[in-house]
Structure 1
Amino acid sequence: MPTGHPVDARPPAHTRAILLAFLVTSLWSSSWVLIKIGLDDIPPLTFAGLRYAGAFLCLLPLALRRPHLDRLGRLGPGHWPLLIALGLVMYTVTQGAQFLALDRLPAATVSLLLSFSPAVVALLGTAFLAERTRPAQWAGIGVYLIGAAVFLYPTGFAQHQLAGLAIAALGLLANASAAVLGRAANRTGTPGPLVVTTVSMGAGAAVLLAVGLMTQGLPALPVTGWVIVGWLAVVNTAVAFTMWNLTLRTLSATESSVINNTMLIQVAVLAWVFLGESLELRQVCGLAVASLGVLVVQLCRGRASRIC
């Protein structure tokens, strides 16, 4: 259960925000392994709905305490639609699509499609947030995508996987849109990261769980299934998403998205360690190239950079 201290903190310094963001992505990367295991017993939409509804219930008591309750009461007419939209895009659509895609496609294929998020976010961030993307950052994004392609291809698709590809593509667009909406919701710092997380997650999880129960139902789960759901809800969601919203007060949409996409590398390592999925030399080279792209984007941040 998270405490009130991290969410009450001032926006972290840039280096600290990067480290915190990488910690969050490590937790989210472990989720891919747990999700693949849990999908053996739990339907995807119901699984996703249980995860985020449980996380919302963990955060709600904290959001109803001062000073968060005061911030919640000060939300203006412009905040509520933004937070609800963020919840529907970030949780209902993005996470629902991810669970559905993982149920139909290999994890590597879904990761590849989601790795295109930085380029989409850069376009959306430039258009809607006035966040200038430096030429070298564009190059870094390109290098990252090349590394991702080297790591994942060649990948063949059977006929029955086409629906999964369409779902994953929808998740890509929703993920990029959620990054921009999240930055817009957090950049002023007025609502606070806990309020942003709780309100948006509550709205998105309610719709996601309702759709899951209506279309897929709730099967009898083994103890391991409930343990996985509980861990994902409390640690990998309630705690992790609150910390992520805190980092968004410092990092740009492009930086956050590129750090998020290092999950491609982390998921591959975790799959190798815990699922026995070995890495070929080509895949290791792809990981190295993708990591270089992430480094270029981080070194070229901001107007004060002398490197780019």
Structure 2
Amino acid sequence: MIRQPSLPGEPAPSHAVTYLALTLLIFIWAANFSVVKFALRDMAPLAFNGLRFALASSLLWLSLKVGGRTAAIDRRHWPALIGLGLLGNTVYQVLFIYGIDWTLAGNASLMLAATPVFTTLLSALFRQERIACIVWIGVTLSCAGIVLVVWGGTQAVSFSADTVRGDLTVLAAAAGWSSYTVGSAPLVRRYGALPVTAVTMWIGGLALLAISVPAFLAQDWPAVRAVSWLALFYSAAFAIALAYFIWYYSIRQIGSTRTAVYSNFIPVVALVIAWLTLGEQPTWLQLLGAAAIVGGTIVVRLARIERTLVRPPAE
């Protein structure tokens, strides 16, 4: 956290704007699950995601250039950046978009809420962090919540193979993102989070565009409604580009811990929005699972001894 201390006798700085921005961020990301789900009614998953990511990465790179925050990358680090870009942006985005296409918007938000749990486990495995006993309680609680959501949260209160497939696919995306997070930590410390984000997004975005070409050719573009184009723009410009700006601005103002804790409200708001806009009424098992996931994630985030500054999942 970069913040100038107050001089003796001076009032503590107000962070009202930061908390207001974080509140806006919660609604932007929470709504994005339903927005993407709606747009996929008109567009194939890869066609939508290829365009979305191309636009988002271009906007993010432009903001870095305008702000003069680009960094010279040592050529020794390019192989790692290429691998991380493919993992954190190509593989993750493919799993994310197909997962949300197969499951409910609310379910997808809950599966991604488990990302900090995977990150903590991987950090412990690679000895980047020491894990306190209370963290294992949070991990267990979140895992129990995931089981409840996967098996209890279905569209018509009946078992759905497609929904379970989607839940597990988004869960795999969360695990992939956590691997990216842990792997990118040394580069983030060297070059900064936003430059590493921009470079890996461009690398992964180019690969994503390449594998999306068949979907582009097969897509019936004249049949895509204007509202779906607006959904694509919202998801790229607001849920990725603007959201990253707010995220890193908040970290600089109030620190990574308080910023990260705020994001725990996202799946709860996402469930409500999906219920109101898509008619995805959660079951009592799903609500219980949601409480377990959010509660476990809060325990994990607050109890972690050593924290690494990383970007959030590109939703």
Give the TM bin, normalised by the shorter chain: 0.7 to 0.9
Segment of structure 1 superposing worse, 282-291 or 130-139: 282-291
Match of 1:267 among 267, 270, 281: 270
Post-superposition shift, 1:34?
Answer: 0.5
State the match for 2:142 in structure 1. 144
Take 1:107 and 1:33, find their aligned partners in 2: how far apart are those partners?
Answer: 6
State the match for 2:65 in structure 1. 64
Take 2:139 and 2:4, find their aligned partners in 1: how far apart are those partners?
Answer: 24
- Residue 280 to residue 165, structure 1, CA distance change in 2 (3 Å): closer
The 5 Å alignment of 1:152-171 reads 152-154=150-152, 156-158=159-161, 167-168=169-170, 170-171=172-173
- Residue 86 to residue 23, structure 1, CA distance change in 2 (3 Å): farther
- Residue 291 to residue 124, structure 1, CA distance change in 2 (3 Å): closer
Matched AA of 1:237: I
Match of 1:235 among 238, 245, 253: 238
State the match for 1:84 in structure 2. 82
- Residue 146 to residue 273, structure 1, CA distance change in 2 (3 Å): same
TM-score (norm: length of structure 1): 0.75
The 5 Å alignment of 1:249-268 reads 251=256, 263-268=266-271
- Is residue 115–residue 145 contact of structure 1 (8 Å, CA) maintained in 2? no
Where does the alignment leave 5 or more consecutive residues of structure 2 unmatched?
Answer: 6-14, 307-315
- Is residue 86–residue 178 contact of structure 1 (8 Å, CA) maintained in 2? yes
Give the length in aligned residue pairs.
283
Matched AA of 1:181: G
- Is residue 122–residue 179 contact of structure 2 (8 Å, CA) maintained in 1? yes
TM-score (norm: length of structure 2): 0.74
Q: Name the SS of the counterpart of 2:191 in structure 1.
A: coil
State the match for 1:225 in structure 2. 228
Post-superposition shift, 1:266?
Answer: 3.1
- Is residue 31–residue 270 contact of structure 2 (8 Å, CA) maintained in 1? yes
- Is residue 112–residue 152 contact of structure 1 (8 Å, CA) maintained in 2? no
- Is residue 104–residue 163 contact of structure 2 (8 Å, CA) maintained in 1? no
Matched AA of 1:284: L
- Residue 58 to residue 26, structure 1, CA distance change in 2 (3 Å): same
**Identity between Structure 1 and Structure 2 (%):** 27
Match of 2:104 among 103, 106, 112: 106
Post-superposition shift, 1:66?
Answer: 5.8
Match of 2:288 among 280, 285, 289: 285
- Is residue 111–residue 146 contact of structure 2 (8 Å, CA) maintained in 1? no
